[in-house]
Structure 1
Amino acid sequence: MTSYISGASIRALRERAGMTQRHLADRLGITDKAVSKWETDRGLPDITLVEPLACALGVSVAELLSGEQIVNANRAGNLLRAKFYVCPLCGNVIHATGEASISCCGIALPVLEVENAVDGRIPAAPENAAAADPSAHLPRVEVADGEVYLTMEHPMGKDHFISFMAYVTTDQVFFRKLYPEQTADARFPYRGLGIIFAYCNRHGLFACRTPRVQRKSTVRLM
């Protein structure tokens, strides 16, 4: 059985909320035996119960699935127009040009927050490529011959990989879905200033504004 929710996480969140198994069961309209099975990993909540379960426990769906409390100071201050959503069950990636209510596999998806944003602002690409950290979650960007090339030094194994790269301008979105064992790279037509996004399945979404380019230029984003 593929487990998308840890029984230990459900128990910890229930106890943190000060509820008994019966109390939680009553709120969900199920039996306390069902809750006991979840917490001992002898069963999983039906997919239709994931969102109500998160609500009953006082956490987001993302927190329920990860088992960790999410603290992000940029959640309320993120003014980026481009929004990305990733389904934790099927891996589907959805893009929206503004705030939206997005659901997939029967659960509501939280908008991905840009992990390296500062006070809701996307940082600019550093001018000195040699000073970049090779473990950074953003690609090396090269603009030449009317195209933008993205390459990354990042693991691409089954448990840790870059799920997608995107290049967003004021009126266009270019996107490449990536999978384990593939090369972490992408090539898009260059359409001027915009934002480069890269999503790591472990560490989240990272972004950087594209540099001003007049001639062939190479930078590594941090």
Structure 2
Amino acid sequence: MDCVKIGKLIAKLRKEKKLTQKNIADALGIQSKTVSKWECGLGCPDLSLWPELSAILGVDMVQMMQGEITPNHPDSGNIDKIRFYVCPSCGNILVSTGSASIFCCGRKLEHILPMDTLTVPKITVEEMDTDYFVTIDHPMTKEHYLSFAAWVKNDRVFLNRLYPEQSPTCRFPITAGGKLYFYCIKHGLSIYSNDLS
């Protein structure tokens, strides 16, 4: 470990959060002079302190241990590059419109690749007022269900969270074009690219 590099990063992140060395020390249950030593490059945090320190500073622990935060490329706003992520621990659903480092429950998540379109279930669409009412012919048991459906059009993502033992239906605003994505906990991500109208 490069203690000088890590120390400079800790100081930078602490200042970004508008925290004092004492704030960090109190949160970790250590002395302020210990934080000062880190920032001067005269030592590195004890291994047991890294998880809590990374949480306090709001950064990835691995990158902090390397002494540098790798920035993501700026989001070009291309909705065609949308990526979905599902945390295997808590089931959180996260979305990006380009490459990103996404973490949840302490794990780096990889974006979900769409599965073979031959296995896409039957979809029924009705127009109701100003919305599409979409029904997906899919089981919704605790062991096999859809966890979300998303309608992606232009610069918008309309995400509906779905739950086991509920109806696999959702509503989306009526718009021409776009793609419907849905995620089965057993079989993965599917794309229905036909226009819903």
Question: Which band: TM-score by shorter chain?
Answer: 0.5 to 0.7
Superposition pairs of residues 29-40 of structure 1, within 5 angstroms:
none
User: 1:171 matched to which residue of 2?
Assistant: 155
Cα distance in 2 for partners of 1:208, 1:142 equals 16
What one-letter code is carried by the residue in structure 2 that aligns with 1:100? A
Alignment partners' CA distance in 2, 1:138 and 1:116: 14
Distance 1:108 1:212, change over 3 A: closer
Q: Name which structure has the greater RCO, CA cutoff 8 Å, separation 6+.
A: 1
Aligned to 2:112: 112
- Contact 1:139–1:198 (CA under 8 A) maintained in structure 2: no
Larger radius of gyration: 2
What SS does the corresponding residue of 1:160 show, helix, strand or coil? coil
C-alpha contact 2:179 2:195 (8 A) present in aligned 1: no
Correspondence for 2:49: none
1:128-207 correspondence runs (5 A):
136-137=120-121, 139-207=123-191
Q: 1:206–1:138: structure 2 CA closer, same or farther, 3 Å change rule?
A: farther
Provide closer, same or farther for how the CA distance between residues 143 and 201 of structure 1 changes in structure 2, counting only shifts above 3 A. Answer: same
Identity between Structure 1 and Structure 2 (%): 39
The two structures, once aligned, show a CA RMSD in angstroms of: 2.3
Q: What does 1:7-26 align with in structure 2 at a 5 Å threshold?
A: none
- Structure 1 match to 2:103: 103
The whole-number CA distance in structure 2 between the counterparts of 1:80 and 1:111 is 14
User: What's the offset of the Cα at 1:212?
Assistant: 7.1
Cα offsets for 1:14-35 (capped at 9, x unmatched): xxxxxxxxxxxxxxxxxxxxxx
Q: CA separation in 1, counterparts of 2:183 and 2:132?
A: 18
Aligned counterparts of 1:212 and 1:202: Cα–Cα separation in 2 = 25
What are structure 2's unaligned runs of at least 5 residues?
1-61, 63-78
Shift of 1:154: 1.2
Counterpart AA for 1:207 = I
Per the normalisation by structure 1, the TM-score is 0.49
The offset of 1:105, in angstroms, is: 0.3
Q: Deviations over 1:61-90 (max 9, x none)?
A: xxxxxxxxxxxxxxxxxx941110000000
Change (3 A) 1:136 1:166: same
Question: 2:90 maps to which residue?
Answer: 90
Size of the alignment, in residue pairs?
A: 120
Residue 142 to residue 210, structure 1, CA distance change in 2 (3 Å): farther
5+ residue gaps, structure 1: 1-51, 53-78, 118-132, 214-222
Is residue 86–residue 94 contact of structure 2 (8 Å, CA) maintained in 1? yes
